[in-house]
Each structure stands twice: as structure tokens, then as C-alpha cells.
């Protein structure tokens, strides 16, 4: 049993791996190449160096994550962050929530929205667009997923076009992946060393 | 512009014609399409498989699809499944697959020790974790696309 005693927060947290990370200075060319898709300050984080044990998988995952979370057009970046924050809370990923809750707060200046989700749950009052995004993210992230036609209808009625809905689907799908890695290869720790 | 449009695994499992409106919508995000497909090959058919066999990879993928009740995706991986995985080791791996899929927040370092005791290296554990997480990604991408494709 691990004591996951850290509460949900938008403050920076660290992450302690349960697997010895690859030593960056002793990494193979394939591992260096896979890590090179990350911003330089992220390449030597324990999480990145744990994933570098399988460079072939990491070399695809890094650009996939980057395009899903930051490709221009479509769903506004802050709403991708909101969806992944909500999924991270639903899955219990305190570390992921801290990163993406903080990004939402930085982009919108509305950190209180995240704090309300932490304090009151997903039923906290939201405008209709955020309501539809949050409801869809919670349902699509469930195992098995339980989103239905009514959720797509709610997104459309709230003004999301098809590309925005696709971006939302891809963001939630990406964090079904990210949350599981962060939750099962290590744990959050209360030191401000990570982005 | 490319002259021809090819189906990827997601199109195939979702039963999407690559020239359908939904398939064309996906192609407005070409990098996502390319690296979703690249991740599939890196995790199911890697150039260097390390210590996780093709039979184990197919069994893991099938289990994740089953737990998520995705019939089409389960069928896709069932067709790849072989029965040459070592049963004792596979059963330890599949217990971990269940944990990561259903309740990842309950994982602890002792769960990784069980995998090590079954002969998995640190690299193999990362590979298994990536594969389980990736199939959970595929499930949600497919579920979302099916809903979007059915919307009026």
C-alpha cells in the first residue's frame, strides 16, 4: 500500500520513480533521440528517463502528446487542459492534476475553477461549454467508457465544432495513457522540482 | 496533398472508410494520426521487442480491450493472440494489466516487485505499462470517434 497523502493542488509537485531511471549520460543513441522531442528541461526528469527504457515507444509517444496538447486551431488549449485536469482527478492522478490544473490557471487566470473542482467535485457550477466538456471527459475516461450520444449533443449545443470535439476526444484518450503511467511507475512527492 | 488516403488501424477497427467525413476530419490532425499509428507499431510490432514477446503483447492488448468492453478492438487483438506465452508469467502480467486498467491509483511499488519476480526487467515493466496505457488510449479514441460518427 502506498500512502498517497498529497491532496490535489495546482502547486508544483515532484515525482519519485519506482524504477531506476536511465542515466542520461550513459543513454544509448536511440534513447537520446527519443528524449530529444521533449523541451530540454524535461529530458532529464525522472519520468522521462524511466520511459526512456523503451525508446521505440517513447519516440512515438512524445510527438503524439505534443500535437494533441498543443496543435494550433481547434479546441482552445485551455480547454484541452481542463479536460485532462478533470480526467486526472477522476483517475486519482495528483501529479498530472497539479501540472494541468496549473496550466489551465496560467492560461485563463481562473485557478478558482480548478480549486472548485477539487473542493466540490465535478458538479461544481460551470458555464454550459465547460459543463459539457467536463461531463464528456469524466464519462469517456471511465473504464469502460460510458459517454453517449447525449454528451456529443451537449458539446455541439455548447458551440463545439467537429474538430474541437475531435481534439477533446484525443486529449481524453491521451490522458487515459498519461495518467496510467504516472500512477503506476512512481508517485508524487512534495518538492517543487518538476514542471 | 497526398494522392491517396490509406486506412490506419483506428480506421480499420472503427470500420471507417478512409474517405468518409469522419476519416477526413481525423486527417486534419495528421501528426496525431501518424504517431497514433506509430505507437501501435512500436508497442505491438517493435523492431527490438526486448523481453516482452509478441504473444504476450497481443494477450495484454486483448485483455485491456476486453476490460473496456470494446468488442471490435478485442477481436482485432484476439486474432493476433498466440498460445505460446508462458502461462505462469502471463498470469502475473495480466493481473498487472487489470490493475492498470481498472484502478491505476491503487498501484504500489510491490506490484512492480511481482513483475520482477516473474522475470521482467525494468525495461520490460516500462514496455508493459506503455502498452496497457496505450490500449486504454485506443479504446477512448475509438469510443469517441464512434459517437462522433453517429452524431446527426
Identify the pLDDT of residue A4.
52
B84-143 pLDDT, tens digit each:
788 899 999 999 999 999 999 999 999 999 999 999 999 999 999 999 999 999 999 999
Predicted TM-score (pTM) of the model is: 0.96
Rounded distance between C-alpha atoms, residue A164 and residue B28, angstroms: 11
Is A152–B151 a contact, with Cβ atoms under 8 angstroms apart?
A: yes
Identify the pLDDT of residue A124.
98
pLDDT (tens digit, 0 to 9) for every residue of chain A, 195 residues total?
445 579 999 999 999 999 999 999 999 999 999 999 999 999 999 999 999 999 999 999 999 999 999 999 999 999 999 999 999 999 999 999 999 999 999 999 999 999 999 999 999 999 999 999 999 999 999 999 999 999 999 999 999 999 999 999 999 999 999 999 999 999 999 875 444
DSSP string, chain A: -----PPP-SS--EEEESSPPP-GGG--HHHHHHHTTS-HHHHTSHHHHHHTTSHHHHHHHHHHHHHHHH-SSSS-HHHHHHHHHHHHHHHT-HHHHHHHHHHHHHHHS-HHHHHHHHHH-TTS---HHHHHHHHHHHHHHSSS----HHHHHHHHHTT--HHHHHHHHHHHHHHHHHHHHHHHSEEEES-S---
Q: A interface mutation test: which of B128, B133, B138, B141 has the most A CBs within 10 A?
A: B133
CA A4, distance to chain mean position in Å, is 18
Instruction: Tell me what the mean pLDDT of segment B19-37 comes to.
Output: 96
Is A147–B136 a contact, with Cβ atoms under 8 angstroms apart?
A: no
pLDDT band at B2 (very low <50, low <70, confident <90, very high): very low
Grid coordinates given for A149: 450520444
Distance set, CA B6 to CA A165, A166, B27 (Å):
23, 19, 10
Identify the pLDDT of residue A194.
46
Is B126–A185 a contact, with Cβ atoms under 8 angstroms apart?
A: yes
Q: How far is A169 from chain B (nearest CA, A)?
A: 6
Contacts of A179 in chain B (CB under 8 A): 104
Domains recognised in chain B with CATH numbers: 9-150 (1.20.1290.10)
Contacts of B137 in chain A (CB under 8 A): 173-174, 176-177
Grid coordinates given for A129: 461549454
Is A183–B132 a contact, with Cβ atoms under 8 angstroms apart?
A: no
Identify the pLDDT of residue B152.
78
Identify the pLDDT of residue B140.
98
Backbone angles phi, psi at B55, to 5 degrees: -65, -40
CA A171, distance to chain mean position in Å, is 8
Contacts of A153 in chain B (CB under 8 A): 151
Q: Enumerate residues 6+ apart whose C-beta is below 8 A from B113.
A: none
Grid coordinates given for A82: 481542463
Is B39–A92 a contact, with Cβ atoms under 8 angstroms apart?
A: no
Identify the pLDDT of residue B83.
75
Report yes or no: B136 and A177 within 8 Å, Cβ to Cβ. yes
Identify the pLDDT of residue A2.
47
Domains recognised in chain A with CATH numbers: 14-70+185-189 (no CATH), 77-177 (1.20.1290.10)
Grid coordinates given for A7: 491532496
Amino acid at each position: 500500500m502506498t500512502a498517497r497523502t498529497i491532496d490535489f493542488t495546482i502547486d508544483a509537485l515532484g515525482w519519485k520513480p519506482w524504477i531506476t531511471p536511465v542515466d542520461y549520460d550513459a543513454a544509448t543513441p536511440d534513447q537520446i533521440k527519443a528524449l530529444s522531442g521533449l523541451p530540454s528541461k524535461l529530458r532529464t526528469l525522472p519520468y522521462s528517463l524511466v520511459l526512456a527504457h523503451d525508446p521505440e515507444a517513447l519516440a512515438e509517444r512524445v510527438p503524439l502528446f505534443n500535437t494533441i496538447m498543443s496543435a494550433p486551431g481547434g479546441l482552445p488549449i485551455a480547454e484541452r487542459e481542463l479536460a485532462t485536469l478533470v480526467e486526472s482527478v477522476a483517475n486519482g492522478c495528483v501529479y498530472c492534476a497539479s501540472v494541468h490544473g496549473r496550466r489551465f490557471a496560467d492560461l485563463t487566470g481562473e485557478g478558482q475553477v480548478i480549486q472548485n473542482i477539487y473542493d466540490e467535485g465535478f458538479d461544481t457550477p460551470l458555464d454550459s461549454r465547460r459543463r459539457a466538456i467536463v461531463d464528456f471527459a469524466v464519462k469517456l475516461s471511465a473504464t469502460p467508457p460510458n459517454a453517449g450520444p447525449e454528451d456529443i449533443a451537449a458539446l455541439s449545443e455548447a458551440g463545439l465544432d467537429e474538430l474541437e470535439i475531435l481534439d477533446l476526444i484525443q486529449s481524453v484518450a491521451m490522458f487515459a495513457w498519461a495518467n496510467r503511467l504516472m500512477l503506476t511507475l512512481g508517485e508524487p512527492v512534495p518538492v517543487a522540482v518538476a514542471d | 496533398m497526398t494522392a491517396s488516403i490509406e486506412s490506419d488501424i483506428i480506421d480499420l477497427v472503427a470500420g471507417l472508410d478512409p474517405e468518409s467525413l469522419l476519416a477526413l476530419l481525423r486527417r486534419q490532425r495528421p501528426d496525431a494520426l501518424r504517431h497514433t499509428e506509430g505507437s501501435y507499431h512500436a508497442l505491438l510490432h517493435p523492431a527490438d521487442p526486448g523481453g516482452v514477446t509478441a504473444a504476450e503483447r497481443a494477450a495484454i492488448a486483448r485483455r485491456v480491450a476486453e476490460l473496456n468492453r470494446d468488442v471490435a478492438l478485442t477481436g482485432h487483438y484476439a486474432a493476433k493472440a498466440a498460445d505460446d506465452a508462458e502461462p505462469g508469467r502471463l498470469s502475473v502480467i495480466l493481473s498487472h494489466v487489470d490493475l492498470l486498467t481498472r484502478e491505476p491509483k491503487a498501484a504500489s511499488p510491490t506490484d512492480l516487485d511481482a513483475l520482477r519476480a516473474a522475470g521482467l526487467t525494468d525495461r520490460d515493466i516500462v514496455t508493459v505499462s506503455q502498452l496497457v496505457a496505450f490500449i486504454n488510449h485506443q479504446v477512448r479514441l475509438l469510443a469517441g470517434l464512434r459517437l462522433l460518427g453517429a452524431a446527426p
